[in-house]
Amino acid sequence: MKFIIEKNELLRNVEKASKAITGKSTLSILKGIMIQVANGQIIMLGSDIDLSILARGTCEVIDPGSMLVDAKIFIEIIRKLPNGDITIEITEDELVNITCKKSKFSIVKMNDKEYPQFPKETNGTKITVSKEIFRQMIGEVYFAVAQDGTRPILQGILYEVKDGILKLVALDGYRIATSSNNVESDIDIRAIIEGNSLATISKLIDSNGDIKIYLHQNHVEFRLDNLIIYSRLLDGEYVNYESLLPNESKLDVTIDRLEFLNAIQRSALIAKSGDSMNPVLTLTIKNDGILDTLIINSNSVKGRAREEINIEIKGYENELEIAFNGRYLEEMLKNMTADKIIMKFIGSLNPCICTPFESNYAQYLILPVRLTK
C-alpha cells in the first residue's frame, strides 16, 4: 500500500472520522482509524460500535490497500508535519512510513482483522432536511438529554416524523425539550437515536446544503457532503412526553430572552453554594398597577441578589411566586434562538411551558422546585 496526499486534505478528513473514536471502549482496535485507498480515493473510518463515521477524500494511489493505525498518534503526527504532499506506505515489516519533505516517521500498523464492518445498506426510509435547520434542531434539544445511565432510553433523542413534520424530543425527568420543522415525507417514522451521536453530527455540519437521513432496522444513516455517519438506534419505548405537557395556561409572560438569560446568570453567581451546580432561583411575577414585572431572587450563604425585568403579562391577576433550578433555565435560554419567548404558568407547583414568541416550532417544559417556608 502506498499513496500521496496533500496534508490538509488528509488532516481534514481524518479528524472528521476520528470524531467517532471516544476512547471509552476497552477494545484497543477501536482506538484505531481504518484507512483505505483505491482509484484515486481515500476512505477513512472511525468507530466506537455505537457511532461510525466514514470520510472520503482524494489522493494519488500508487499501490491500493488498507491499514489500521492508532488514531491519536497518527493525527498528532499529521498535524505537526509541514504543509505539502505526504507520502504514506506500508513496509514489508508491517510498519507505516509517513514522509513529508525532510520529516519521516515509522509507526506500527495495527491488526485490523476484527475491526467492525460498516453497514452496507443504502436503502431505507429517507428524509431530506437542511443541514442548518437540522443542526439548530439538535442544539435546541440536546441539553435536555439525560446524562446518567439510570434510564438508558433517556440518553437518546426521539426522532419522529408525522404528517410531514420532523420532531426531535429530549427529556431527563426534570425538563422536556422539543424542536419541529416541516419536511417532505408521507411516511410516519419513530426511532430513538443516541443523543451523543446527534451532538457529534451537529459538530460535523459545517456548510450549507441538505443532509439525507436513512432509517434502517437497527441504525440510522446520515449522508452529508463527503461523510457517511452511522448511529445505533436505542431499543425500547420512549416516554409518552405529550401526556406530560399541560394543555392549559393561567398566566402567559412575554419576556426578552437575552435580558432574562443575563439576569439568570448574574443571580446564579450568588445562588451557587459550595460545589452545587444547581442554584435555586425564585421568580416573582406581578403587576403594581403600572408595570408588569418579573423579579428574580437568589439567596445563599454567600449573600443575596435581586433582578427586575419588565415583562408583558396576560391573565392571572394575582402575584405568582415560583422557583426553578437556575441551571435548567440557563441551559434552555442559551439554546433557544428567538429574541422573545413566552412562559406559560398554571401555578407555583405546576410545570412551566416555554415557547418562542409567535411560534411553536420549539417547546420546553421545566419542573419547578418546591419552596420551603
CATH number of the structural domain spanning residue 140: 3.10.150.10
Domain check: are 136 and 65 in the same one? no
Span 10-18, mean pLDDT?
A: 97
Instruction: List the domain range (segments joined by +) for residue 154.
Output: 125-243
CA dihedral 297, 298, 301, 303 (to 10 degrees): -60
pLDDT bracket for residue 123 (50, 70, 90): confident
Domain check: are 217 and 304 in the same one? no
Last residue of one domain, picked from the residues 64, 80, 108:
108
42 occurs within a structural domain: yes
| pLDDT at residue 317, rounded to an integer | 73
Domain check: are 130 and 193 in the same one? yes
Last residue of one domain, picked from the residues 210, 225, 243:
243
DSSP state of 109: P
Domain check: are 183 and 200 in the same one? yes
Query: Using CA atoms, how far apart are residues 347 and 203, in angstroms rounded to an integer?
Result: 39
pLDDT bracket for residue 371 (50, 70, 90): confident
Domain check: are 145 and 175 in the same one? yes
Q: 274 pLDDT exceeds 60? A: no
298 occurs within a structural domain: yes
57 occurs within a structural domain: yes
| pLDDT at residue 275, rounded to an integer | 52
The string of pLDDT tens digits covering residues 56-103 is 999 999 999 999 999 999 999 999 999 999 999 999 999 999 999 999
Q: 221 pLDDT exceeds 70? A: yes
Query: Using CA atoms, how far apart are residues 367 and 240, in angstroms rounded to an integer?
Result: 16
Last residue of one domain, picked from the residues 73, 108, 143:
108
Q: 25 pLDDT exceeds 90? A: no
Domain check: are 135 and 96 in the same one? no
116 occurs within a structural domain: no
Query: What is the average pLDDT value for the chain, to the nearest integer?
Result: 93
The string of pLDDT tens digits covering residues 282-336 is 999 998 878 999 999 998 888 999 999 999 999 877 899 999 999 999 999 999 9
Residue 296's Cβ-count burial label (10 Å; 0-12, 13-18, 19+) is buried
Domain check: are 361 and 250 in the same one? yes
Domain check: are 190 and 257 in the same one? no
Domain check: are 238 and 255 in the same one? no
Domain check: are 252 and 211 in the same one? no
115 occurs within a structural domain: no
**Among all chains, which residue has been given the C-alpha cell 451557587?**
272
Domains contained in the chain, number: 3
Domain check: are 341 and 266 in the same one? yes
